Structure 1
């Protein structure tokens, strides 16, 4: 069994999706469940978590409607404005929807290096603890110092780091990222998605061997109980096929025991997202 904990759906809009630059032009079109379903059938993927790509409440509705229609979508990571006065009302509303598993903010796009530590943002995050929702942390590696301070403040909140915090794999930088990831992993309420790596490497020349040191750091830091597989489809298509992404994960999992592979590919996801 495989649960893909990170993929996206969208109806492409050049304004809404302006983050898709020329280098990623191959994904400038619609990606919907009917496009992904045959890929999953080919690779024996049981289900997925659909993650927001647009920071609006309309995006939540879009993804939740798709999850209602397609059984293989096991949950949604949506968005709310945690700095808004209405955040409690929004969280209460979505708490009634079992398919809403959590939230994230595109912190990687924020220019303020301390965005996660803003009092208004922290106040909103503090309201999550009573909902059981996950908060996913989407950052670049240079934002990890703030992440470390952030997770310290919420020992009872379930956190998941997206895309192993996007280290600069293309340039081979690893030491400072690894140091901070180990520090963050010391907080047992934080898990990590082994995802999004091929688009942090050289799109055209990456090899699995380039990625393995980063995956090994994550495994060493978080252990077998706090790592989960994600494809980052369709973003991954800018640098490789779904088969290639899954083969990277399988190459990494080849060094794990049978029980650890089951944790990585589906059991940890089932627990974290209450699937």
Structure 2
């Protein structure tokens, strides 16, 4: 099994200012060593390490960790997609085969940024190198994400954290409509990940998560959904095992071959692991 969404960092209050005091459980360092026992217990063979800092030094940091740990099967890094020097940067990073794709924290950006022709032009260069792109956004940004994807229809995309629906309020109508539209592009996949952070951390109910899972599987299908944990962020709500068990319980409705797609095969195909 593959966990398609894991973060690692050496905690810095300045660099990681998004980790607030109420998230104290993750205000320290996280490395592959912190995951080894959990992965062994759950028979997870590896992960995709996703950028948590928006510098090219982040790529170097994750590559160093990958050299030290066999748990990291692939990396989603960061590069300035609006840079006029993007082509040469992609050519450079293409020497490091563990880097499978790229991500920018679009949830912190405006619609104008997401639809900036320079940004979209950068994404259009990724296919030349065989790179994927992770879409990180809130549910109220999905309209802009759909417009972005429509302009690069042949680019492999994956939506992180199901587009961050409002799990807590269960106001899912507009999110559901936009998930349906986004899923109409066959080159877009979706990660079942990160939803506990969008719920009431300590008092969520299983049905609230399963309502979101229902929408994702209805529109993306088992062949375009991937399991991810969003570890260590998931720890603000529950231990890693609780999230894994929750997704596994939902997956009991699928056949063994369909479950293998969700936990293994789709990740290997999409990220070329």
Q: TM-score range by the shorter chain?
A: over 0.9
Q: How far does residue 252 in structure 1 lie from its aligned partner after superposition?
A: 1.5
Q: How far does residue 154 in structure 1 lie from its aligned partner after superposition?
A: 1.1
8 Å contact kept, 2:62–2:75:
yes
Residue 95 in structure 1 maps to residue 94 in structure 2: yes
Which residue of 1 is the match for residue 70 of structure 2? 71
Q: How far does residue 233 in structure 1 lie from its aligned partner after superposition?
A: 0.4
Which deviates the most, 94-103 or 157-166? 94-103
Runs of 4+ in 1 over 3 A off after TM superposition: none
Q: Describe the superposition over 1:120-148 as per-residue Cα deviations: whole angstroms up to 9, x where unpaired.
A: 10111111111111100000000000011
Write the distance in 2 (CA, Å) between the matches of 1:104 and 1:113: 16
Write the distance in 2 (CA, Å) between the matches of 1:19 and 1:269: 28
Which residue of 2 is the match for residue 190 of structure 1? 188
Write the distance in 2 (CA, Å) between the matches of 1:136 and 1:183: 17
SS in 1 for 2:253: coil
Which residue of 2 is the match for residue 43 of structure 1? 42
Q: Describe the superposition over 1:60-87 as per-residue Cα deviations: whole angstroms up to 9, x where unpaired.
A: 0000111122112100000000011111
Which residue of 1 is the match for residue 3 of structure 2? 4
**Any residues of structure 2 matched to 1:122-141 within 5 Å, and which?**
122-141=120-139
SS in 2 for 1:5: strand
Aligned-residue Cα RMSD (Å) equals: 0.8
Write the distance in 2 (CA, Å) between the matches of 1:18 and 1:203: 20
Q: Describe the superposition over 1:209-259 as per-residue Cα deviations: whole angstroms up to 9, x where unpaired.
A: 210010010001101110000000000000111011101110121111111
Write the distance in 1 (CA, Å) between the matches of 2:206 and 2:93: 39
Q: How far does residue 22 in structure 1 lie from its aligned partner after superposition?
A: 2.2
8 Å contact kept, 2:189–2:224:
yes
Q: How many pairs were matched up?
A: 273
Q: TM-score, normalised by structure 1?
A: 0.98
Q: Describe the superposition over 1:89-138 as per-residue Cα deviations: whole angstroms up to 9, x where unpaired.
A: 1111111211001000000011x223211011011111111111110000
Write the distance in 2 (CA, Å) between the matches of 1:191 and 1:90: 26
Write the distance in 2 (CA, Å) between the matches of 1:177 and 1:232: 20
8 Å contact kept, 2:124–2:152:
yes
Which residue of 2 is the match for residue 104 of structure 1? 103
Which residue of 1 is the match for residue 198 of structure 2? 200
Which residue of 2 is the match for residue 167 of structure 1? 165
114, 117, 136: which one pairs with 1:116?
114
Gaps of 5+ in 2: none
Write the distance in 1 (CA, Å) between the matches of 2:141 and 2:221: 22
Which residue of 2 is the match for residue 264 of structure 1? 262
207, 218, 223: which one pairs with 1:209?
207
Q: TM-score, normalised by structure 2?
A: 0.98
Q: How far does residue 206 in structure 1 lie from its aligned partner after superposition?
A: 1.0
Which residue of 1 is the match for residue 221 of structure 2? 223
Write the distance in 1 (CA, Å) between the matches of 2:240 and 2:114: 32
Which residue of 2 is the match for residue 176 of structure 1? 174
Which residue of 2 is the match for residue 143 of structure 1? 141
Write the distance in 2 (CA, Å) between the matches of 1:114 and 1:247: 39
Q: How far does residue 4 in structure 1 lie from its aligned partner after superposition?
A: 0.1
Write the distance in 1 (CA, Å) between the matches of 2:234 and 2:258: 25
SS in 1 for 2:223: coil
More helix by share: 2
SS in 2 for 1:49: strand
